[in-house]
Amino acid sequence: MRSARSRRDRPLRGPLVASCAMAEVGRVLYGREEVRRRVEELGRTITGDYVGRKPVLVTVLKGGAVFLADLMRAVDLPLEVSFMAISRYGDAEESLGRVQILLDVELDLAGRDVLLVEDIVDTGLTSRYLLSVLRSRGAASIELCTLLDKTARRIVPIRPRYAGFECPDNFVVGYGLDFRERYRNLPDILQVDDLARLRADPDALTSHVPPAA
Protein backbone atom coordinates (compact mmCIF):
# COMPACT_ATOMS: atom_id res chain seq x y z
CA MET A 1 0.00 0.00 0.00
CA ARG A 2 1.36 3.39 -0.92
CA SER A 3 2.37 5.47 2.03
CA ALA A 4 0.69 8.79 2.72
CA ARG A 5 2.21 11.82 1.08
CA SER A 6 4.89 13.47 3.18
CA ARG A 7 4.85 17.21 3.74
CA ARG A 8 7.68 17.51 1.25
CA ASP A 9 5.39 16.18 -1.48
CA ARG A 10 2.84 18.91 -0.95
CA PRO A 11 2.97 22.18 -2.86
CA LEU A 12 4.38 25.17 -1.04
CA ARG A 13 1.79 27.88 -0.72
CA GLY A 14 2.25 31.57 -1.33
CA PRO A 15 5.26 33.43 -2.73
CA LEU A 16 8.25 33.24 -0.39
CA VAL A 17 10.35 35.70 -2.37
CA ALA A 18 9.78 39.44 -2.30
CA SER A 19 7.88 40.53 -5.37
CA CYS A 20 9.43 42.92 -7.87
CA ALA A 21 7.16 45.48 -9.50
CA MET A 22 7.64 45.81 -13.25
CA ALA A 23 5.57 48.77 -14.40
CA GLU A 24 2.61 47.06 -12.68
CA VAL A 25 2.50 44.38 -15.37
CA GLY A 26 3.91 41.53 -13.33
CA ARG A 27 6.09 40.51 -10.41
CA VAL A 28 8.22 37.65 -9.19
CA LEU A 29 6.08 34.91 -7.75
CA TYR A 30 8.79 32.32 -7.15
CA GLY A 31 12.45 33.27 -7.50
CA ARG A 32 15.11 31.13 -9.14
CA GLU A 33 16.74 29.98 -5.91
CA GLU A 34 13.40 29.03 -4.41
CA VAL A 35 12.54 27.07 -7.55
CA ARG A 36 15.93 25.34 -7.51
CA ARG A 37 15.53 24.29 -3.88
CA ARG A 38 12.00 23.02 -4.42
CA VAL A 39 12.96 21.00 -7.49
CA GLU A 40 15.79 19.41 -5.52
CA GLU A 41 13.33 18.52 -2.74
CA LEU A 42 10.99 16.90 -5.26
CA GLY A 43 13.91 14.99 -6.74
CA ARG A 44 14.90 13.61 -3.34
CA THR A 45 11.33 12.56 -2.60
CA ILE A 46 10.96 10.82 -5.95
CA THR A 47 14.31 9.10 -5.43
CA GLY A 48 13.09 7.69 -2.13
CA ASP A 49 9.73 6.62 -3.50
CA TYR A 50 11.16 4.85 -6.55
CA VAL A 51 14.24 3.26 -4.99
CA GLY A 52 15.04 -0.03 -6.71
CA ARG A 53 13.03 0.94 -9.79
CA LYS A 54 13.82 2.62 -13.11
CA PRO A 55 11.10 5.21 -13.71
CA VAL A 56 10.21 6.79 -17.02
CA LEU A 57 9.70 10.55 -16.82
CA VAL A 58 7.39 11.89 -19.53
CA THR A 59 6.75 15.56 -20.17
CA VAL A 60 4.76 17.63 -22.64
CA LEU A 61 6.62 20.03 -24.90
CA LYS A 62 7.39 22.82 -24.72
CA GLY A 63 6.55 24.06 -21.26
CA GLY A 64 7.59 21.02 -19.26
CA ALA A 65 11.07 20.71 -20.79
CA VAL A 66 12.79 23.11 -18.37
CA PHE A 67 11.27 21.52 -15.28
CA LEU A 68 12.06 18.02 -16.54
CA ALA A 69 15.68 18.92 -17.28
CA ASP A 70 16.25 20.09 -13.70
CA LEU A 71 14.08 17.43 -12.05
CA MET A 72 15.74 14.44 -13.71
CA ARG A 73 19.16 15.68 -12.54
CA ALA A 74 17.80 15.81 -8.98
CA VAL A 75 16.63 12.18 -9.10
CA ASP A 76 19.42 9.83 -8.04
CA LEU A 77 18.15 6.76 -9.88
CA PRO A 78 18.57 5.12 -13.28
CA LEU A 79 15.75 6.56 -15.35
CA GLU A 80 14.57 7.27 -18.87
CA VAL A 81 12.85 10.32 -20.29
CA SER A 82 10.44 10.78 -23.15
CA PHE A 83 8.41 13.60 -24.64
CA MET A 84 4.93 14.28 -25.92
CA ALA A 85 3.51 17.24 -27.84
CA ILE A 86 -0.14 18.15 -28.08
CA SER A 87 -2.10 20.58 -30.17
CA ARG A 88 -3.06 24.00 -28.96
CA TYR A 89 -6.72 24.42 -28.22
CA GLY A 90 -9.24 27.14 -27.56
CA ASP A 91 -11.30 27.65 -24.45
CA ALA A 92 -14.19 25.54 -25.72
CA GLU A 93 -12.00 22.53 -26.39
CA GLU A 94 -10.12 23.02 -23.14
CA SER A 95 -13.36 22.86 -21.22
CA LEU A 96 -13.93 19.41 -22.70
CA GLY A 97 -10.35 18.27 -22.29
CA ARG A 98 -9.89 17.39 -25.97
CA VAL A 99 -6.36 17.49 -27.33
CA GLN A 100 -4.56 16.05 -30.32
CA ILE A 101 -1.29 14.22 -29.73
CA LEU A 102 1.28 15.49 -32.22
CA LEU A 103 4.31 13.71 -30.74
CA ASP A 104 3.89 10.48 -28.83
CA VAL A 105 6.10 8.61 -26.38
CA GLU A 106 8.54 6.42 -28.31
CA LEU A 107 9.32 4.05 -25.42
CA ASP A 108 7.49 0.83 -24.62
CA LEU A 109 5.77 1.62 -21.32
CA ALA A 110 4.45 -1.87 -20.63
CA GLY A 111 5.36 -2.82 -17.09
CA ARG A 112 7.16 0.47 -16.45
CA ASP A 113 6.75 2.99 -13.65
CA VAL A 114 5.74 6.22 -15.39
CA LEU A 115 5.82 9.74 -13.98
CA LEU A 116 4.04 12.41 -16.01
CA VAL A 117 5.94 15.67 -15.42
CA GLU A 118 3.89 18.83 -16.02
CA ASP A 119 4.85 22.49 -15.78
CA ILE A 120 1.40 23.43 -14.48
CA VAL A 121 -1.88 21.67 -13.72
CA ASP A 122 -4.96 23.87 -13.67
CA THR A 123 -8.34 22.43 -14.71
CA GLY A 124 -6.84 18.95 -14.64
CA LEU A 125 -8.64 17.94 -17.83
CA THR A 126 -5.57 17.64 -20.06
CA SER A 127 -3.55 15.91 -17.34
CA ARG A 128 -6.35 13.41 -16.79
CA TYR A 129 -6.47 12.65 -20.50
CA LEU A 130 -2.71 12.21 -20.77
CA LEU A 131 -2.63 9.98 -17.71
CA SER A 132 -5.31 7.78 -19.25
CA VAL A 133 -3.33 7.56 -22.50
CA LEU A 134 -0.16 6.55 -20.67
CA ARG A 135 -2.06 4.10 -18.48
CA SER A 136 -3.49 2.44 -21.58
CA ARG A 137 0.07 1.56 -22.66
CA GLY A 138 0.27 -1.02 -19.89
CA ALA A 139 2.32 0.94 -17.36
CA ALA A 140 2.84 -0.80 -14.02
CA SER A 141 2.22 2.52 -12.25
CA ILE A 142 1.43 6.05 -13.32
CA GLU A 143 1.80 9.19 -11.21
CA LEU A 144 1.63 12.93 -11.80
CA CYS A 145 4.28 15.49 -10.87
CA THR A 146 3.74 19.20 -11.46
CA LEU A 147 5.81 22.26 -10.70
CA LEU A 148 2.75 24.50 -10.28
CA ASP A 149 -0.60 23.32 -8.98
CA LYS A 150 -3.39 25.79 -9.77
CA THR A 151 -6.15 24.21 -7.70
CA ALA A 152 -8.36 27.30 -7.98
CA ARG A 153 -9.16 26.29 -11.56
CA ARG A 154 -9.56 22.57 -10.95
CA ILE A 155 -12.55 20.99 -12.69
CA VAL A 156 -11.84 17.28 -12.26
CA PRO A 157 -10.80 15.68 -8.97
CA ILE A 158 -7.16 15.10 -9.83
CA ARG A 159 -4.40 15.50 -7.24
CA PRO A 160 -0.75 15.34 -8.30
CA ARG A 161 1.36 12.92 -6.27
CA TYR A 162 4.17 15.48 -6.37
CA ALA A 163 3.62 19.24 -6.54
CA GLY A 164 6.13 22.05 -6.26
CA PHE A 165 4.12 25.17 -5.54
CA GLU A 166 0.51 26.18 -5.13
CA CYS A 167 -0.18 28.61 -7.98
CA PRO A 168 -2.62 31.50 -7.57
CA ASP A 169 -5.34 31.99 -10.15
CA ASN A 170 -3.20 34.31 -12.26
CA PHE A 171 -1.37 34.00 -15.56
CA VAL A 172 2.27 33.03 -15.00
CA VAL A 173 5.37 32.99 -17.19
CA GLY A 174 8.97 31.90 -16.87
CA TYR A 175 10.84 28.66 -16.23
CA GLY A 176 9.33 27.09 -19.34
CA LEU A 177 5.97 28.84 -19.22
CA ASP A 178 5.38 31.32 -22.02
CA PHE A 179 3.35 34.17 -23.35
CA ARG A 180 3.18 33.90 -27.15
CA GLU A 181 6.41 31.83 -27.04
CA ARG A 182 8.23 34.49 -25.03
CA TYR A 183 9.74 34.28 -21.56
CA ARG A 184 10.30 30.52 -21.36
CA ASN A 185 13.96 31.28 -20.57
CA LEU A 186 13.25 33.38 -17.48
CA PRO A 187 14.89 31.76 -14.44
CA ASP A 188 12.15 33.12 -12.16
CA ILE A 189 8.41 32.44 -12.29
CA LEU A 190 6.50 35.68 -12.76
CA GLN A 191 2.89 36.42 -11.95
CA VAL A 192 1.26 38.65 -14.57
CA ASP A 193 -0.94 41.21 -12.83
CA ASP A 194 -2.03 43.09 -15.95
CA LEU A 195 -2.57 40.62 -18.76
CA ALA A 196 -4.29 43.22 -20.93
CA ARG A 197 -1.16 45.39 -20.90
CA LEU A 198 1.03 42.40 -21.68
CA ARG A 199 -1.18 41.53 -24.63
CA ALA A 200 -0.91 45.11 -25.85
CA ASP A 201 2.86 45.14 -25.30
CA PRO A 202 4.37 41.61 -25.37
CA ASP A 203 7.78 43.12 -24.55
CA ALA A 204 6.60 44.50 -21.21
CA LEU A 205 8.50 41.87 -19.21
CA THR A 206 11.75 41.88 -21.15
CA SER A 207 13.60 43.51 -18.26
CA HIS A 208 13.59 40.08 -16.64
CA VAL A 209 15.12 38.26 -19.58
CA PRO A 210 18.68 37.21 -18.62
CA PRO A 211 21.31 39.31 -20.42
CA ALA A 212 23.45 37.67 -23.08
CA ALA A 213 26.83 36.43 -21.87
Enumerate the active-site residues. Answer: 122
CB 133 within 8 Å of CB 101: yes
Alpha helices in the chain (DSSP H): 32-49, 64-74, 91-96, 125-135, 195-200
CB 73 within 8 Å of CB 36: no
DSSP-derived letter for residue 136 is: T
Residue 195: C-alpha distances to residues 24, 29, 85, 154, 173 (Å): 10, 15, 26, 21, 11
Residue 95: C-alpha distances to residues 52, 86, 90, 91, 166 (Å): 39, 16, 9, 6, 21
φ/ψ of 202, rounded to 5, equals -60, -15
Please give the angle made by the CA atoms of 141, 161 and 172, to the nearest 5 degrees. 125
